[in-house]
Structure 1
């Protein structure tokens, strides 16, 4: 028991990450070790509040393995990405990092092994996910994600994400309650907690009242870009 608590203490303070472990390409199962571009093993990282929560979940779930994410929410900023992530984490087939790793824009030099160690443990059939909206505006991010895995799905908030990920529809109204103070629905029991949870103070802000003539000008301006998006995705979102 003493050994277990000692291990938990060191892992929650980031010391477990200092032990170098080989990372393997999950698609090809090759035995190639992945390190940072300069060949130096990733350095230890002290956990923040959200990271500590995820570390707790990973330690509590000693089954499965850490994998590179099969799906990444890349944007857009203030487009509901945090709400989307929290709602997807309700699904039993989704495991996700709570905080934003910012690997492909800020910490890419730490190497793929460091990145994979941030991920929660998953079982066969579960999807590993992360969310960092600034990837959407980082020009290096697409190439870096593709170098990691060409099979990773990139999510931009604009449609029905559960269909895109091939998830069975299990998230319903029973998972939410309407918070009168916040003015929007909150989670009854989020992952790893027995208490209800609402999104932060910066979420759920009311939209400003925009004059109709401004809306018309914006629609005219964005119409050709919307048409290109419809052609690229093969889906008409009906924004006109």
Structure 2
């Protein structure tokens, strides 16, 4: 007798017997097997955790507090350096090698990159010191010399690919920078920078304009020690003999016309892309100025106050770097820093003060900030 589909389903529901499929083997899963599987998974996860770069078996959690797991010192080293560390017992990192300040697991895409920030000047306002201080930060790499790419036409005509070959190697996430102190007052630079990167950030250091001009003169004079005593005086270069007026074309004074140069740059870039450093305060309080630079670049504050130590002998701050076995060693800027300026004729000083006073006021208004000049 034939059985309908409905009666067949009813029959199976009543009897609780399902038709056996050919070749199908149904095995019963017990609670013991499930528990064993969970234990194996737990062991596997535990082994993965302790093998990670941020796990330290010696770290303990205080009762009622949250723990921040920090990387071990060897996590910041390349495999070769890590082997040396274990063999000789060296317990320091070489801060002169910027690669060693970056966790090893973050070292990716090591190559040359175009800069995203420029130190554009001004000359004799502390640009050299700024470069040395920036190198204290592990997220910054700076070209070791002034490249004069944007202010020298022959260099600029070589193209941006050539410019990239001049950059230091950097990892993903680091900021590549270059400093050329002539960029700010060169009339061709601003549009050339804009043509490469309209989002470029600029760091500009300014200083009391007369003192900056005298320091510029002194550096030019001391370049050739053989003819140093034969060089004209500052007054002879700064005053036109025909009419007794200020020689505004003198190369040593031109960078001090901050207002005139800033107007040109603001035609291409908004003020928000500039960070203006008080060069005089950089000498008195380098930590304060570097803290502001880190804010501008959006970087964590890793250039700490204890990195700057005042030198009674030099009369200004030096850097405190990591030495051997956890010690610190003092490193000062070059001997040319902090030179004593020559005395300037009072009449010439009054003329320069009258020249710069209105320009300084216009500069303050333009940038929305006032300096004690």
- Does the TM-score normalized on the shorter chain lie above 0.5? yes
Answer yes or no: is the 8 Å Cα contact 2:307–2:321 preserved in 1. Answer: yes
Residue 156 of structure 2 corresponds to residue 108 of structure 1: yes
Give 1:11's aligned residue: none
Partner of 2:150: helix, strand, or coil?
coil
**Radius of gyration: which is bigger?**
2
Give 1:237's aligned residue: 371
Alpha-carbon distance in structure 2 between the residues aligned to 1:187 and 1:238: 26
Structure 2: stretches of 5+ with no match in the other structure: 1-95, 207-276, 278-288, 323-327
TM-score scaled by length of structure 1: 0.63
Q: How does 1:190-205 map to 2 (within 5 A)?
A: 196-205=330-339
Partner of 2:321: helix, strand, or coil?
coil
Give 1:67's aligned residue: 113
Q: CA deviation at 1:94?
A: 1.4
Q: How does 1:116-131 map to 2 (within 5 A)?
A: 116-131=164-179
Alpha-carbon distance in structure 2 between the residues aligned to 1:129 and 1:99: 11
Alpha-carbon distance in structure 2 between the residues aligned to 1:63 and 1:215: 55
Q: CA deviation at 1:123?
A: 3.5
Give 2:132's aligned residue: 86
Q: How does 1:156-235 map to 2 (within 5 A)?
A: 156-158=204-206, 159=277, 160=289, 162=293, 163-189=295-321, 196-209=330-343, 215-235=349-369
Compare the two structures and name the one with the higher helix fraction.
Answer: 2
Task: Give aligned pairs, total.
Answer: 182
Per-residue CA deviation, residues 134-155 of structure 1 (Å, 9 max, x unaligned), is 2223221111111110111222
Partner of 2:161: helix, strand, or coil?
helix
Aligned match for 1:141, one of 179, 185, 189 = 189
Larger RCO (CA under 8 A, 6+ residues apart): 1
Larger CA deviation: 128-137 vs 204-213: 204-213
CA RMSD of superposed structures (Å): 3.2
Structure 1: stretches of 5+ with no match in the other structure: 1-53
Partner of 1:133: helix, strand, or coil?
coil
Alpha-carbon distance in structure 2 between the residues aligned to 1:68 and 1:222: 36
